[in-house]
Structure 1
Amino acid sequence: MTIENERRRRILQAGAAAFVSGLAGCSSYLEDDGGALSSGNGTTGTETIEREEIELPVEGEAEWIGYGETASSRVTESAPSDPAYDGRYEPWTFTGREGDVVTVTMESDPGDPYLYLLDEDGTVLEENDDGGSSELDAQIAGYELPEDGTYVVLAASYGDEVDFPYELGVREGVEGEKIDLRSIEVGETATGKVDVEDPDQFEDYEGFHEPVSFEVASDQAVTIEMSSDEADPVFGVADSTGAVVASDDDGGDGLDSRLVAFPASADEEYTIVATSYGGSVGFEYELSVQEADASDGRDLRSIEIGETATGEIDHGDPESDRFNGYFEPVSLRADGGETVSIEMTAADGDTYLYLLDPAGSVIAQDDDGAGSLNSRIEYAELSDAGEYTVVAGGFQTNGFFEYELSVQEAQVDGRTDLRSIEIGETATGEIDPADPESDRFNGYFEPVSLRADGGETVSIEMTAADGDTYLYLLDPAGSVIAQDDDGGSGLNSRIEYAELADAGEYTVIAGGFRSDGFFEYELSVQEAQGSGGGGADLRSIRIGETASGEIDRDDPRSDRFNGYFEPVSLRADGGETVTIEMNSADGDTYLYLLGPDGNVIAENDDYGGSLNSQISGVTLDDGGEYFIIAGGFRTNGFFEYELSVAEQ
């Protein structure tokens, strides 16, 4: 997942908790005195501020920027970096007075900027990521300077994204026409503007906002929408006691917010706290309050097997943390013994499904099993007669959207059960809900018997076009002697060079990586070619030499070295600096270098964008016998390889 997508997911999950805890911390605001901005101590912003040089508390050389100025520059790979600050940064300084309220902006296209405001000692006073007018721009808005002096601005990058241009601005207050919105009526759409002259404290919420009151009757429900082209709007709804009873971040189109069918609990005045994600200031917004049906849209409360129906999750539905917020409880009657597949799709939402048995216990659930952000519970067995409940909800706490729900009887007849296989055979099976189930084997599986005379070495492969396979091999006593997830191509599994040492009945467990994975598969058991000591053992090498070896089942095996390996002796006089390379056309190599005392002094998995290994420029300080451990990344990786030791 990209940094931007990760942040987007975080924003979508913020909801009411993010609002109540506060999206930005600001502590003061300016009075507008006929166009001349005045600071909290009564002095005007038009006075000249003398530049004051300081010893920079961070690495780098600072540029000066004054009030009302903008400057252009670029964050590059050569810019300073520090673990205390995100990404790389360029330092800037400005001088201000105690009580000055300043706004610092950093805008970039296509970069992702990050801002820090520091005092002369390097203490971070304020920081911001996405509080600017565009989605990824940064803005520290309405910060009151605690004392006279020079301050440091770090114009930084978010994460490792660098090499982008930006424009930095520092000004007193927030420019533009002031538009205060303090009340709205049901049925009205109005415009407001959040700026530093607005309140910055509402109960537990800290941040500039506009408190917009509206009156509603106890039998009314309203839909509230807040949109802006300049910021990411967020709002909460507080009752007459000041308690926030509802909120929304991105329930509307794009980054806009919408609260659908908010039901009033009494005849009273409510307050919409209109603000933004990230604490943006100086942005205009449009607010709409419209009457709505408390059951706005389509409530879905029952469905039958074989039916497809439409519903809508809205503010009039039940809400529970157990089911990620708002949901629709959809009754499903069963005679007992049915097996069904349940699918929930939405064009505009991220769905989540739960299935409850007649006692109310969750017996199945799914998030994205139907592809994209849609949900599917496959092969759910309704073993008892009674009323089951399909909980149709969303991944987000405040996700409101229309959806389609389908419950269909699953086709389990005609399935292909595979219960035995012979060496040299390839056969087909199908994992379905009629198969055994065990947490030991990741859910449903097929136990496939495999008889051996003893002494055979086999390779077992399991492939599926539509599933993520998983293989286990059990000995006649039932103990796991080998297992594999993705040792084959793609998501397929392969156990290579499995030794059937004893005569008897072995069991191949053909299963899936997921507990609810149902799919057809092909299973193959073949006698391993080239097993039984046919490989080229490599046990010593000299500096300057290149030699070939082969990792096979006759080599030593240790969990310390990822399974099978070849220990290759390397003698040194002491003081040599060497580069060791291990290359293979068919395997994923892994190198260890042990000193004369047996301790690992260097190791490497992949280099140069390949699956080959290289230990570069290691000095053999002491004279004596070193060991190169030539192995693989995987426990059961068997392959030929070439090993070289070159002196530098």
Structure 2
Amino acid sequence: MTRQTLTMAMTAAGLAGIALPAAAQDICGGAGANGQWIGGSEAASDVSVSDNYMEQMALVLMGNEYVALFNVSAPTDVRVEAAGRGGGDPVIDLRDAGGTIVLSDDDSGGGGASRGEMTLNPGTYCLSMASYDGSPMTGFVRVGRTEQEALTEGTSMPPVSPPETPGDFTGGGGGCSAVSNYLADGGPIDGSLDMGASVTASVDQVDAWGFSLGTAQAITITAENPSADPLVTLYDGSGNYLGENDDFDGLNSRLDMTSPLPAGDYCIEMVALSDTSLPITVTVSGFDPAAQLASLYERGEAAPPMDGSYPITNMGALGNRVRQDLQTTDVTTWMSFDIDAPGLVVVEAISNGIGDPIMVLYDDFGRLVAENDDYGGDLDPLIAARVLPGSYLVGVRQLNEGETGLVRMLFERYMPAQ
């Protein structure tokens, strides 16, 4: 296999990449500030005229993401892909020059790899790759035209066709190619979504839902039934891809369109990755930034503020050995502790075989220090991390939805030898 461009990029502190970093700080709304030109330089990263695909290998550590930049000089059918090594599970987001996400994917490349294809207009684009579960991962990122060699096999799922007539949601069946099912009991949504609108049906019954916005509005779409494992994809009335989500909260899906969508018609394509006969509850509501943050805190995907506005148990200065018993649920329980000198902290969550806890550790700036789910051949997590003076947050929750269990927390602090 010939590779036109192969560069190594490291996102961990202290590791330098070969590809040239982006000079401008506002590329893709700031998302590309630390990105690497996938062709090795800006001039060599034009996918419209490249003789072959462009590829980089990247090491992603500590919950960070790797960003590859490329240019499009003429309308071009582009394929973007990411494949992990050794069982790595990458997720990708493609942003335009303004920072709007125009494509997101998790597993469309097959075997955990990510893949997406779409026609891109002239401009600069940023392709970010992150590890699905935040674990360290080495992966390949590839950008090429659709006629050039693919990195991934792709799934067996047929591509989604756009509506035959822009804005025409009057057919029956066939996904977003023909939609007759409108939310809110058969009527178009009027743009006031504060109270939300929900419907429930299996994918066998309804494989797409249409709705209308009377005014520009940011929205949230959720699809709930983990046994069905729903995947939602959003298109506008002209069949343009706007975004998708698979696993946001466990196996449930949630798609946040944080920038207001223009007034008009929209289509939600539904796929059930596990069982197409099971009912899925689909909800469209107005996007609520505060609710989004609270949801991130509840899942342990972001550290809550330590200003007293969110419930955190303060343990004070951490001793050499501290034990704490917690009754845990699928909502993260947060604890904080203080460190007055450099050293090593080991934290264990012991369930004695009841439940499946998962644990995260953040510093007081909200940076993820470490996370763990299963350690030592069982379902109990363990984190060992070097720490500096400051405050730290530990979050613990049950991995499975609706699960509860008593967890015994063990904190041990080790000081360097003098």
Q: TM-score, normalised by structure 2?
A: 0.38
Q: Which has the higher contact order (CA 8 A, sep 6+)?
A: 2
Higher Cα radius of gyration: 1
